[in-house]
Structure 1
Amino acid sequence: MKNSYLSLLFVTIFLIACGGGSSTSQTSNQSTGETPVQTTASIIVMEETIKLDQSADLVLFSPNEPLSNISWSQTSGESITLLAKNSKVVSFSTLIAGDYSFNVTFEDSNGNHHSLDQTITVTNELSPMSLRLSHAVVEQNAVSLRTYFNEDINTDTIKWKQVSGPSVTFTEDDTDGKFAVFFDAPTVTKDTLLEFEVSLTDNGETFTDKLAVLVENSDIEVLTTNDAYFQNNRVATVFPYNPNSPVADVLADCVYSNKLKINSNACNFSTSPLIAHVTKTPTVDDIMDHVLVSHQWMGDRFKAFLETFDNEHNDFKNLLRATTAIVISYDIRPSFYQSYTGAIYLDPDDLWLTPEERDTINQAPDYRASFGSDLQFEMPWRYVKDNNYASFFPNIRYRLSRDIEDTLYSFASLLYHELAHANDYFPSTLWDNVNRTNKIESIAYNRIVQNAIQSDYLQTVLPLNGDEMWDLARVRFHNDPPANATQKSYRPEDIANFFKDEGAPQFYSYSSTREDYAILFDGFMMKTRYNVQRDVMVTDQNLENIAWGQRGREGEENIMPRIELVVERVLPEFNDLISALAELPEPITIPSGSNFWDTLALNSPAKNTIAKQLLKQSEQQDPRYSPVIGRPFNTQHLTRMELKIEGNNNEE
């Protein structure tokens, strides 16, 4: 979320450029009964007549007066779902032709209640392309826009254009500018509308689609100093999933606000308690009292996940006791845990079930993707089950829906990982032995500098050695420092020799002592709860030549004692831990010289060429789905202060 500081465009230009759909207004002052007060707000539609398969967008525009208590509702037409009905901008997919009417109610700064209505028409004409998603965003927050089109379209004809508003710069280093663009919303002094248009040519005919991004002014400054919790990063506006939660009024200010500064306005456990401080046996509803979301559907999906998959062992409810909050927002990428707030921050990409829900998520690439790109090796990993990928992800261009069961393994592994971090910093032994009036950041900081975190103890009694791997991890995962000449010269075979006899399940374990701890936990839990194993390999950069690899590395004799130490501390409720460790299968060697993609089925019964060919054909997947494989990074990152402290620890 890099910042751009750009100029304003006057409201009259917006109304001309966007066509300004007509809207009718009804106003009242319910508190005084006085003569109705007119509003200067209006509804803007990008196009009053819209084709099928496009996105219909409505903007409640009020640059000159603040609005609150916004609520959209549909009043006529084929029923649709509004995923941001309390936002100033709503969008929906046009799947059925007809007229659609909407009403929005809101209050002005004086408490006057207003109501506006708008109708749009969806024609029977099918569009070969669509542009998504019109939405509201706080100034300086990250924005992603994506176009969808028929497979036979000549992509060379696709053109993006900004039509109005302060000029923004597309980050085309991360995208080819055809399928998606990413940028940071400009700084504004009042609500400001940006309009974009995409055009393409098909069979000699040019088609266009438009959308709007409403940039909202914020009175909260984005802090650039080193003591800022979210330094240089504008965070989105979030709200409590349960508005009647005991912590609803304080939670956002305590865990997801640009106001937060070290040694300044941080909260304590009295104000923002751990869930364990409220109850040691939380229900799903207890958990949801501590959830903040940018969109209602994100909380709905998280709740459904817990209700569906956390009944037998209650792992996630027990692990969540070590958190103060669960923040799920469209702008969180990647997921992370923050010790200074005691909260976990989840990328909702593992939660969406419909393409419309997916549209609301920022899709910019992980900012760390290019770190260590000049190293001559890769260490890919994947979760597998029954000789197949454990999870598949719908390719974004096909706009497919999925079932909640499709999210199980990817989201479960994420939760096990992030919640291991939470229980590393604030384990069950600390819950009743901490001064709740002390700031959370102070408690966390003191535990860090005193090497009192559980992962510090692991590194003391069962350390990861291998100086080469620690140094390479600093390059690959932190880009600090960049690779030196020796590191650039290492071949996959060199890395295999450094790594294979170590006590780490995978390369990312060397990113920090905290990651080492969490990866030991998540891999074991995925195996013992779901019979999902992790493959880890050392390959060339193209993943075409495996120098070394293993499936189920958690079963190594020098790794199992480290797992035992971690699980005992992260999840004391885990029964029969020793038996579960004893039942871990011995690791399976992945054939060297093989291609990453051709090593999925190990110990295959097929022994002849024809059988192998038939097996390979049977394993071919629907091209609309991609297997989930380990990216260069897991999904946790640390604050700058923690990186500095932990980096020094790792260098000792």
Structure 2
Amino acid sequence: MAQPPAPAEQAAAALRVRALSSPSASSADSAAVDPEEAARQLFEFAQVYYPEYFPGTPATASALGYLYRYYESTGIYLGVREGQVYVLGGFFGTEIKPVGELTQFITPLPRTASRLCAAGAGFERFASFAPQVGKNVGLTVAGCGGAIASVQWRQTGGASVPLPADKTQTISFDPPEPGSYAFEVSYKDSLGVERKEAQTVQVAAAPSSETARLTLRASHSVRMGGKVSLRAWPSLPEGDSLKTIVWTQLEGPTVTLDTRNPRQALFTAPTVARDTLIRLRATLYTAQGKVDSDEAMVLVEYKQQAPASDTNAMWAGDQISRTYPYKPNGPYASVLRNCVYDPGIYHSGPRYNVCLLSTLPFIAQQKGGATPTVDEVMDRVLVSHDWLGRNFEAFLREHDTNGDMRRMLGSVTAIVLSTHIRPSFYYAGTGAIYLDGESFWLTPEERDTMNEAPDYRSEFGNALQFDTLWRYTKDNQRLFKYYDPAARITRPLDEVRNEATWLMFHELTHALDFMPPSAYSSLQNFRSAWDNIYPRYANYQLTSDRVQALYPLSSQPMLALGDVLFRGKTATAQQKAYTPADIAGFFAPDLATDDYAYSTSREDTAMTLEEFLMQRRQGIRRDFAISDDFPTGATGSSIIVRWGQRGRIGEPAIRPRARAVVADLAPWAGENEVDLLPAPIAMRAGESWTANLEQPAAAPRVKAQAAALPTLTQWQQLQAERRVMQMRHSGPDKPLPPAPAGWQSTAPRR
């Protein structure tokens, strides 16, 4: 009887069964691969094909000349040293055993430096290799000798494809059929010379539809320091399932990929000395052993940002993405970007260059206080992509019929819409609002251009025993819907209304707080927006200051928790011990409409006017509830409400402060309208968040069971609500500029 092979021999045999090789890679290519990169490729190969031995994706470590990974659940080490592969532990025994040359299992592929601009030309173009139906196709133009501007791509031949990023340096599309696709790109080079280039790609047919397929979306451009996201879209034949997706960087300066969600790769664009190309490949592995891959490119644009140490810079430490005027021939097109969203703006010091109101006035000045038209608002819009301006304009025309938003927009100098702004905010230093494009997409191609880097605020307050929930409702129906990021979905303009109306009311309340209608007549054009705002701010004359003085929030525990929930401060032992009942006892008797009011007096005022306008002007009521801390995987049906109200703005004790806010900031809405707000409806404690959607209950209801198994629909709905809930977690405020030169404040800001 033959003896069974030794564990080390079994390991080698097992690994070699699926040994990977690249027919285009030579032995010289393999020898040129950095040892750490070759080891990483070997580890990923083992993890994909032999998860029973090498499960998960542990970090790579080094010791005694070995690069290795330790798989804790199996107790196995997999290591590489001087081109040899070794195993240790678990099934393989207690001694380090060699199992063969690394090149017996894989042919490691080198990662090259960015070849774009390597030849010393002033500008270069690049296109995806071997384009194919069902794969990402990207084309880019780079400024090798300096920044290029005024980019415009046009398709001149082939089956028509959408180009939602046609004014950026990189376009991306999914070819619907094989054939020739022709494009023209025009731009101004670093010397201001207008240039025009032609680019044609030949797209091959896709293989059989029965095989597994992977598509990456979308190739794009980003300025250095910007957040980058790419998404992998698998398409599997019936009966097969996804095993994993492995991401590899093929070209460009090394970046650290966050692929905890294997369908997505996140990274931060590195600092570069010129426009630089990064290429990534994602490889799909299925349960039935099928493999497919796709590649995408990210052009990192060279653009100096203002360092955090430069205290004279308006945007010190911020990453400013590329934007341009939505209306290129508008009356303010030549000054918008330089006045409100450019890293070269200096609010103090010898390079002071802040725009005066004579250059970029508040919109209300243009109208003498009358309601601006949509066209006049659009004259002030900066965008990262045309579709943002187009959808924003359609939203105003169709869903601002009573003019509330246009009246509020009188208190801003500009509106910036970008796929890289997160979260949305108002900034008194420029008098402009900055909006996250997530609220405005309609088509899957538009959504592809959105950056999916997570909001830094999402983990605040995790150590507490309670959670708070909110949503907007109309006729006992939720306003917010879930749109699966892994699906190709088109949504109607009505959903932009649902996503954007409350956000606009909130951010524009901040603008009105700093520049109320009563101040329009006293604006001085020879001063900047901030210089006009500052005297009111310094002397505590903002509406948020006055309301806080007249009707202060009095719950000290909630005020202290505001720093934990919305500023990231570490919770104390006492705060960690608070139960939902404790929080309800602190919150219910106070004057806040939402716990976000405890972050700052500014947010308190914004929450008050936002809810008033949503209810009285839109017929939409707001739910706020306190629950137990809900775990991962919870749904609205498993989260139990411990206390809550629908329409808290109608609470009699809150009405006086609501009247004060409306009178100051939205006088056209009528402060007497506050008295018409109906009393709030108490939610049914002990029932679920989902059950409490119906208010008041039509009949006695059975209490939801916290342990009930969630459905996919329930989980998805809560994700939609949690996404907007997390937008309340503000994090550190952007510092305001210093006092204007020569200003002597008698009451310094606290």
Instruction: Output the TM-score relative to the length of structure 1.
Output: 0.87
Q: Is residue 145 of structure 1 aligned with residue 230 of structure 2?
A: yes
Structure-2 separation of matches of 1:618 and 1:167: 41
Mark the CA change 1:447 to 1:112 in structure 2 (over 3 Å): closer, same or farther.
closer
Q: Is residue 253 of structure 1 aligned with residue 338 of structure 2?
A: yes
Mark the CA change 1:189 to 1:556 in structure 2 (over 3 Å): closer, same or farther.
same
Structure 1: state its 5+ residue gaps.
1-10, 21-37
Mark the CA change 1:15 to 1:259 in structure 2 (over 3 Å): closer, same or farther.
closer
Do 1:513 and 1:650's aligned partners in 2 also have CA atoms closer than 8 Å?
A: no
Q: Deviations over 1:368-402 (max 9, x none)?
A: 11122212211111111111211213111112011
Do 2:314 and 2:737's aligned partners in 1 also have CA atoms closer than 8 Å?
A: no
1:641 paired residue number: 735
Paired residue type of 2:249 = Q
1:185 paired residue number: 269
Mark the CA change 1:440 to 1:628 in structure 2 (over 3 Å): closer, same or farther.
same
Do 1:43 and 1:58's aligned partners in 2 also have CA atoms closer than 8 Å?
A: yes
The counterpart of 2:371, out of the listed 273, 281, 295, is 281
The counterpart of 1:596, out of the listed 689, 708, 724, is 689
Paired residue type of 2:382 = L
Shift of the alpha carbon at 1:365?
A: 1.3
Q: Is residue 560 of structure 1 aligned with residue 655 of structure 2?
A: yes
* SS of alignment partner, residue 346 of structure 1: strand
Mark the CA change 1:412 to 1:117 in structure 2 (over 3 Å): closer, same or farther.
same
The counterpart of 2:221, out of the listed 136, 147, 150, is 136
Structure-2 separation of matches of 1:467 and 1:473: 10
After the TM superposition, which of the residue ranges 413-422 and 623-632 deviates more from structure 2?
623-632
Paired residue type of 1:47 = F
Q: Deviations over 1:272-308 (max 9, x none)?
A: 2100111133111100111101111111111111111
Do 1:66 and 1:109's aligned partners in 2 also have CA atoms closer than 8 Å?
A: yes
Shift of the alpha carbon at 1:177?
A: 3.8
Shift of the alpha carbon at 1:65?
A: 5.3
Shift of the alpha carbon at 1:361?
A: 1.3
The counterpart of 1:92, out of the listed 145, 153, 173, is 173
* SS of alignment partner, residue 158 of structure 1: strand
Paired residue type of 2:623 = D
Structure-1 separation of matches of 2:661 and 2:407: 15
Task: Spell out the pairing of 1:27-426 with structure 2 (5 A cutoff).
Answer: 41-52=123-134, 54-64=135-145, 66-109=147-190, 111=193, 113-125=195-207, 126=209, 128-150=213-235, 154-170=241-257, 172=258, 176-202=260-286, 203-263=288-348, 264-279=352-367, 280-311=370-401, 313-426=402-515
Bigger relative CO (Cα 8 Å, ≥ 6 apart):
1
Mark the CA change 1:237 to 1:491 in structure 2 (over 3 Å): closer, same or farther.
same
Shift of the alpha carbon at 1:116?
A: 2.0
* SS of alignment partner, residue 100 of structure 1: strand
Paired residue type of 1:520 = T
Do 1:57 and 1:90's aligned partners in 2 also have CA atoms closer than 8 Å?
A: yes
The alignment covers a number of residue pairs equal to 610
2:640 paired residue number: 545
Mark the CA change 1:324 to 1:198 in structure 2 (over 3 Å): closer, same or farther.
same
Mark the CA change 1:484 to 1:231 in structure 2 (over 3 Å): closer, same or farther.
farther
Paired residue type of 1:114 = K
Q: Is residue 587 of structure 1 aligned with residue 680 of structure 2?
A: yes
Q: Deviations over 1:136-185 (max 9, x none)?
A: 11111121122122477655421011111111113x3xx61412222211
Structure-2 separation of matches of 1:382 and 1:491: 22
Mark the CA change 1:253 to 1:290 in structure 2 (over 3 Å): closer, same or farther.
same
Q: Deviations over 1:323-369 (max 9, x none)?
A: 00000011100100001110000001110000110111111111111
Structure-2 separation of matches of 1:536 and 1:188: 47
Do 1:535 and 1:552's aligned partners in 2 also have CA atoms closer than 8 Å?
A: yes
Structure-1 separation of matches of 2:737 and 2:570: 16
After the TM superposition, which of the residue ranges 445-454 and 460-469 deviates more from structure 2?
445-454
Do 1:270 and 1:436's aligned partners in 2 also have CA atoms closer than 8 Å?
A: yes
Shift of the alpha carbon at 1:621?
A: 7.2
* SS of alignment partner, residue 352 of structure 1: coil
The counterpart of 2:624, out of the listed 536, 542, 554, is 536
1:5 paired residue number: none
The counterpart of 1:437, out of the listed 506, 523, 526, is 526
Paired residue type of 2:252 = G
Do 1:537 and 1:548's aligned partners in 2 also have CA atoms closer than 8 Å?
A: yes
Paired residue type of 2:180 = D
Identity between Structure 1 and Structure 2 (%) = 33
* SS of alignment partner, residue 51 of structure 1: coil
Structure-2 separation of matches of 1:531 and 1:545: 27
After the TM superposition, which of the residue ranges 564-573 and 591-600 deviates more from structure 2?
591-600
Instruction: Output the TM-score relative to the length of structure 2.
Output: 0.76
2:65 paired residue number: none
Structure-2 separation of matches of 1:162 and 1:341: 39
Shift of the alpha carbon at 1:59?
A: 1.5
Structure-2 separation of matches of 1:605 and 1:642: 50
Paired residue type of 1:631 = M
Structure-2 separation of matches of 1:248 and 1:16: 32
Q: Which has more radius of gyration? A: 2
Mark the CA change 1:378 to 1:220 in structure 2 (over 3 Å): closer, same or farther.
closer
Paired residue type of 2:197 = S
Task: Spell out the pairing of 1:460-539 with structure 2 (5 A cutoff).
Answer: 460-479=549-568, 481-539=569-627
* SS of alignment partner, residue 380 of structure 1: strand
* SS of alignment partner, residue 607 of structure 2: helix
Structure-2 separation of matches of 1:639 and 1:620: 36
Do 1:334 and 1:635's aligned partners in 2 also have CA atoms closer than 8 Å?
A: no
Mark the CA change 1:506 to 1:220 in structure 2 (over 3 Å): closer, same or farther.
closer
Mark the CA change 1:621 to 1:608 in structure 2 (over 3 Å): closer, same or farther.
closer
* SS of alignment partner, residue 368 of structure 1: coil
* SS of alignment partner, residue 280 of structure 2: strand
Structure-1 separation of matches of 2:356 and 2:116: 50
Structure-1 separation of matches of 2:249 and 2:550: 58
Shift of the alpha carbon at 1:317?
A: 0.8
The counterpart of 2:725, out of the listed 628, 631, 635, is 631
Shift of the alpha carbon at 1:192?
A: 0.5
Mark the CA change 1:619 to 1:566 in structure 2 (over 3 Å): closer, same or farther.
farther
Structure-2 separation of matches of 1:624 and 1:563: 31
Do 2:564 and 2:570's aligned partners in 1 also have CA atoms closer than 8 Å?
A: yes
Q: Deviations over 1:93-128 (max 9, x none)?
A: 333444322222334445263322212315244563
2:24 paired residue number: none
* SS of alignment partner, residue 397 of structure 1: coil
Paired residue type of 1:494 = D
Do 2:246 and 2:282's aligned partners in 1 also have CA atoms closer than 8 Å?
A: yes
Do 1:336 and 1:635's aligned partners in 2 also have CA atoms closer than 8 Å?
A: no
